[in-house]
Amino acid sequence: MKDTKYIFVTGGVTSSLGKGIIAASLGKLLQARGFRVTNQKLDPYINVDPGTLNPYEHGECYVTVDGHEADLDLGHYERFLGVETHKANNVTTGRIYQNVINKERRGDYLGKTVQIIPHITDEIKRNIKMLGNKGDFDFVITEIGGTVGDIESLPYIESVRQLRWELGKNCLIVHLTYVPYLAAAKELKTKPTQHSVKALQEQGVQADILVLRTEHNISAEIRKKVALFCNVEQSAVMQSIDVPSIYRVPLNMQEERLDEVVLTKMGYDLEKTPAADMKSWTAFVHNLEDAKEEVRIAIVGKYVQLPDAYKSIIESLIHASAYNNRKLKLELILSDKLSEENVEKKLQKIDGIVVAPGFGQRGMDGKFAALKYARENNIPCLGICMGMQTMSVEFARNVLGYAEANSTEIDPDTIYNVVDIMEEQKNILDLGGSMRLGAYKCKLKKGSRVYDIYGKENISERHRHRYEFNNAFKDEFEKNGMICSGMNVESNLVEIIELQGHKWYVGVQFHPEYSSTVVNPHPLFISFVKAAIEK
């Protein structure tokens, strides 16, 4: 068995340069050459996981199949590679310190003074190598969150320094920096990159490859200058220029020969390595970029001021639109500002509506207004998680006549996923006391819309919620046309509802957006967008 290769992606100058996209793009290129690849994210924040973070703080909380609440970059990894991630793919400073403190309390360190080096760095290295030690992957690509120079990132950079010596040729560092364009001087400036690389060197790490984020093409002369000042071969200095879609990045990095340089530096013979097969990826990008007609989809939610809060939903809609030969025209509508008085004005030009997930009562009335409008005007509508709950409540109120129908829980505008608190509060919750996380099985009713969409009876989808449909009302719902078309048989929970006689009106208790990828877009989103474009 060949040794696993470890690649680290660090960032400098500024945050939000796209380390996750570069890491995922490199992973895709290596995968397309036949290698087994996984991506990992190291997050410097002290939260144990992002499950308790306000979406405005950190964007979407992504959920893996094994029920781990993770950074949204894991969504990029799965969408690009089509490979499921797990708890080991996302590590936080909080979890590292928690593990070390637990070991100290158990006496694992035999009375030694517990320090950053070696105890914290050893724990970081153990978590990094955990994926590679199984022998399942040829490459583990680890993105280090934050920016070089941040105090929070220091233990991670130190761990990389140590691993560089321990792993030798099996370790490689890709450093992503920014080359700004000064309009007044009409030129690109490399000094920020030089300082970033110097900061990395001061911490004992020399980058092997530099990826320069830029809005303008970087000339060979500038690349030569960067190589000279940063101790990097000129062939290993490459640009990542702004593009209309993140899905163009792997193709651009292939043109920059990123995968070739990586393989060469890690001892591979390119003549004996298959070329990257990017045909299906290229076809998707062409569909995405060449589509002329638009499909107008509205996401109605309470966190729309930060689109990253609904990142996986947005990307799933992009996938589905491209496969339906349409360009997505996305409208983000704040549910707090939506009412029955203004809903027609805001939604009359919309082709399809997604009622988004979210916790707490805030913004629910706006969701009810959107759902009633979609239901009564035959507009395709997809309700996800809380979206399905509001679908159920709106139907109970306005069709079945239960004016006081509602969906209740403790207020998570301040508490998002504290399972022990959920358990303590169980008696006051109408819809179940704790969070359901990860993949659960669902059996589809034959003859239903969703059965036709999936093309099979048994599916598995990821959850992140604490809601349940009240089965006492199931028969009454179905008699009036709202069919419970998906059930978790083991726990007798309703997973999917759909309205008969409507063009497309489906609510799901799970999060289908978590498993939509570029090569395999989710069938629910494909069907939803198809219905939205049909006149």
Query: What letter would DSSP give residue 1?
Result: -
Strands 181-182 and 187-188: antiparallel
Predicted confidence (pLDDT) per residue in 65-101, tens digit: 999 999 899 999 999 999 999 999 999 999 999 999 9
Q: What are phi and psi of 451, to 5 degrees?
A: -65, -45
What is the CB neighbour count within 10 angstroms for residue 209? 23
Which pLDDT band, with edges at 50, 70 and 90, does 434 fall under?
low
Active site (catalytic) residues: 385, 511, 513
Work out the pLDDT band at 49, boundaries 50, 70, 90: confident
Q: What is the pLDDT of residues 261-313, one digit of tens each?
A: 999 999 999 999 999 999 999 999 999 999 999 999 999 999 888 888 999 99
- Helix pair angle (279-290, 311-323), 10° resolution: 90
Cα separation, 49 vs 45, whole angstroms:
9
Say if residue 428's pLDDT is above 70: no
Reply yes or no on whether the pLDDT at 236 is more than 80: yes
Q: Is the dihedral of CA 429, 432, 438, 444 positive or negative?
A: negative
Does 84 or 417 have the greater pLDDT score?
84
What digits encode the pLDDT tens for the residues 164-188?
A: 999 999 999 999 999 998 888 889 9
pLDDT for res 50: 83
The per-residue pLDDT for 135 is 86
Structure tokens at 432: 């179940």
pLDDT tens digits, 437-475: 899 999 999 999 999 999 999 999 999 987 788 899 999
CA–CA separation, 248 and 472 (whole Å): 50
Query: E strands of 20-114, at which residues?
Result: 37-43, 62-63, 69-70, 90-92
Beta bridge pairs of residue 397: none
Average pLDDT over residues 409-427: 33
pLDDT tens profile 124-160: 999 999 999 988 999 999 999 989 989 999 999 999 9
Selection from 249, 331, 247, 316 nearest residue 287 by Cα: 247
- What is the distance of C-alpha 102 from the center of its chain? 30
> pLDDT digits over 213-224, tens only?
999 999 999 999
Model-wide pTM > 0.85:
yes
Q: Phi, psi (5° rounding) for residue 143?
A: -90, 130
Residues in a beta bridge with 442: 459
Rounded distance between C-alpha atoms, residue 313 and residue 307, angstroms: 10
Residue range 311-329: mean pLDDT, rounded: 97
The pLDDT value recorded for residue 361 is 74
pLDDT score of 430 more than 50: no
Q: Is the predicted pLDDT of residue 528 greater than 80, yes or no?
A: yes
pLDDT at residue 62 greater than cutoff 80: yes
**Residue 303 gets which letter from DSSP?**
-
Q: What integer pLDDT is reported at residue 407 of this predicted model?
A: 67
Q: Is the pLDDT of residue 418 over 50?
A: no
Other CB atoms within 10 Å distance of the CB of residue 218: 20
Alpha-carbon distance 319 to 523, whole Å?
Answer: 10
Kindly report, residue by residue over 344-380, the tens digit of the pLDDT. Answer: 999 999 999 999 998 777 878 999 999 999 999 999 9
Write down the mean pLDDT value for the chain. Answer: 90
Q: How many angstroms separate the Cα of 262 from the Cα of each of 27, 169, 258?
A: 11, 11, 6
pLDDT of residue 2: 77
User: Where would I find the beta strands (DSSP E) of 102-206?
Assistant: 139-144, 171-178, 181-182, 187-188
Burial 46-64 (b: 16+ CB within 10 A, else e): ebbbbbbbebeebbbbbbb
